[in-house]
Amino acid sequence: MPARASGGRPADLVTDLYRVHALGLIRVALLMVGDRATAEDVVQEAFSGLHRRQNHLRDPGKALPYLRASVMNGCRSVLRSRQRARLALVQHEVPVWSAESAAIAGEERREVLAAVARLSGRHREVLVLRYYSGLNDQEIARVLGISRSAVAAYASRALAVLARELREEP
Amino acid sequence: MNRLENRLLDAFSAAADTITPESLPGLHERSRRPSWQRLTAPLAAAAAVIIAAVIVPLILTAHTGTVTSPSPATLYVVIDNNPGVVIPVNMAADTTGRPIPIPCPPYYAAAVAPNGKTAYVVCPTGVVPINTSIGTAGPLIPIRVDDPNEPGFSFENIVITPDGRTAYVLESANPSTLTPINLGTGKVGKSIVLGNVSLDPDTMAITPDGKTIYIVGYMGAVMVISTTTNEVERTINLGTGPTPSIAITPDGETVYVASSNLGKVVPISTATNKAGKPIPVGTGPDQIAITPDGKTAYVVNNNSNTVTPINTATNKAGKPIPVGSGPDQIAITPDGKTAYVTNQSSNNVTPIDTSTNTAGHPIPVGFSPASIVINPNGQTVYVTGPEQETVRPITIATNRARAPITVGNYPEYMMFGSTP
């Protein structure tokens, strides 16, 4: 159902947003799901959702928070279905931070990314939005639809776990 | 920024840089159709599959659910989706009823009127009443929004007075406000201004007599609001940093506020509105639950995988009780005999015997459990989490999980109401 563009502006809005933000959003999704193909799918689905709802978008300024939130929701769905697949012993794509994929230089970096990947969903989301997207806790709270103190609590718990695993000061 | 944070920054950017701008089509040539448009058709097909696989069975179970014997009360599960939906669960039959569509994406906050007949779900631009007697959502009660660039996302919480007359909706914005809604008329009253954005109010609790609301702010300030005058009576500055939770004893005498940075719980006397000596608990204390007799407050220590009991008569902490990994939320049975804690990382629930303060065998409940509530009849614990698509009932008599009840994507919040 290729949606008909209603007037020039809204279609341009989504296209413009895609040009400006697709790369950043795909990179964020990559950090969550580990492989590029899935990351691109998740982001395309988010843009597709925005495209379907653009007539309801009262304020274009809200589009980016909406996209971020729907990318995070998409990643969460992927990770959840992988969790089920793992129980059924189905293999999925090799993450970009595995030694096997050899995409990232430096054992130390791979160790950090693998430790992040072992954290549960919300903890990873908070770390990626804070340390990659550079959002503050208030913005993260809005993207994830949780309270700001929950963000702070997830972040401090995630950092504490990483510190232990990576033998660093928390 | 410490060394660990720098390592995170470096590793994240190294991983992100494996995708170069040149390798992404559609970013530079304007004329080219962006790939989201190429994908629209397969996505519609995928959506059809999802509707067939998830929604249709939901509707089918709905009918068996409503036909089977009615239970005294229904569990309502708020699904965090856009637009949202509330799923009624028949607690006698472990089946779902007809889904109640919500005209907006619900926020993680909802409350039920004391008579159980109306539930209120918080959305980005207001509150949606749900008539639980007939199982339908009414129109949105819009609430003024301060920041036009980010309409909503900012309502944090809702409480209803014990007489069922007024709901108070908390908004974290600039300025932060608490807005009363007359539940009899649906009229939105004048917002109470709490302060500027740095207060960042987050969670709140109302005293059993309904006269006072305590709001905790992100920066460790507690605001005391009189529901008689609808004014801020006092601001108690704790200076503790993040305070993620608040609980009030059943006699209304003491408010407990957890400080996650300090690893302490601060007692506040409601008679004097003065903070008492902080009580050291575990690392990263968060949720607090108080036994129905008011004698013990249980504090979940997120980072030390323990629960600390506090004697409310002496405000002394007992020995921490080891639970599972990543403990999150806690609920206590109506008879006060058992506390149940969800362990997000170890995917189970730990029962705590409150007479001995010892943990029983963990009960497996599926991936990343978070929310937990207990049927007021004291027979069943219900567990869910946004990473699940089900609600897990646990039989209290045996501490065994029954078969999961499918409710759909992102179940966030559970509450009890009357049966449709």
Write the single-letter amino acid at A71. V
> Which tokens go with B141?
């009660």
Which chain A residues have a beta carbon less than 8 Å from that of B156? 147
How far apart, in whole angstroms, are the C-alpha atoms of residue B372 and residue B339? Answer: 11
Q: Residue B103 — very low, low, confident or very high, per pLDDT cuts 50/70/90?
A: confident
For B247-277, the pLDDT digits (tens) are 999 999 999 999 888 899 999 999 999 999 9
Which chain A residues have a beta carbon less than 8 Å from that of B203? 147, 149
Whether A14 contacts chain B with CB within 8 A: yes
* pLDDT value for B150: 44
Among A117-126, A132-141, B22-31, the least confident range: B22-31
How far apart, in whole angstroms, are the C-alpha atoms of residue A48 and residue A3? Answer: 10
Of B154, B202, B243, B158, the C-alpha closest to A153 is B243
Among B95-99, B107-111, B180-184, the least confident range: B107-111
* pLDDT value for A57: 59
pLDDT higher than threshold 70 for residue B40: no
Which chain B residues have a beta carbon less than 8 Å from that of A61? 149-150
**What ipTM was estimated for this complex?**
0.84
Write the single-letter amino acid at A62. K
For B135-181, the pLDDT digits (tens) are 899 898 988 655 444 433 457 789 999 999 999 998 876 677 899 99
pLDDT > 70 in chain B, percent? 83
* pLDDT value for B58: 32
* pLDDT value for B378: 92
The domain segmentation of chain A, as residue ranges, is 7-93, 96-170
Please compute, for residue B240, the number of CA atoms within 13 A of its CA located in the half-sphere on the CB side.
Answer: 31
Which chain B residues have a beta carbon less than 8 Å from that of A27? 15-16, 19
Q: Do B368 and A148 touch (CB under 8 A)?
A: no
> Which tokens go with B316?
């002394």
Q: Do A18 and B34 touch (CB under 8 A)?
A: yes
Q: Which residue of B has its CA nearest to A138?
A: B200
Of B150, B138, B56, the C-alpha closest to A139 is B150
Closest approach of A7 to chain B, Cα-based (Å): 17
pLDDT higher than threshold 90 for residue A150: no
For B284-305, the pLDDT digits (tens) are 898 999 999 999 999 999 889 9
pLDDT higher than threshold 50 for residue B61: no
Q: What is the pTM of this model?
A: 0.65
Element (H, E) at B159: strand B155-160
pLDDT higher than threshold 90 for residue B318: yes
* pLDDT value for A81: 75
* pLDDT value for B270: 96
* pLDDT value for B39: 35
* pLDDT value for B146: 53
Closest approach of B413 to chain A, Cα-based (Å): 12
In terms of average pLDDT, the best of A10-19, A82-91, B352-361 is: B352-361
| Mean pLDDT in residue range B318-334 | 95
The fold for domain A96-170 equals: Arc Repressor Mutant, subunit A (1.10.10)
What residues of chain A, 115 to 154, have a C-beta less than 8 Å from chain B? 116, 120-122, 127-128, 131-132, 138, 142, 145-150, 152-153
Which chain A residues have a beta carbon less than 8 Å from that of B261? 156
> Which tokens go with B39?
């994908």
Write the single-letter amino acid at B215. I
* pLDDT value for B276: 95
For A64-105, the pLDDT digits (tens) are 888 888 898 888 878 877 776 665 555 566 788 887 777 778
pLDDT higher than threshold 50 for residue B70: no
Of B291, B345, B281, B272, the C-alpha closest to B316 is B281
Closest approach of B209 to chain A, Cα-based (Å): 27
Mean pLDDT, chain B, whole residue set: 83
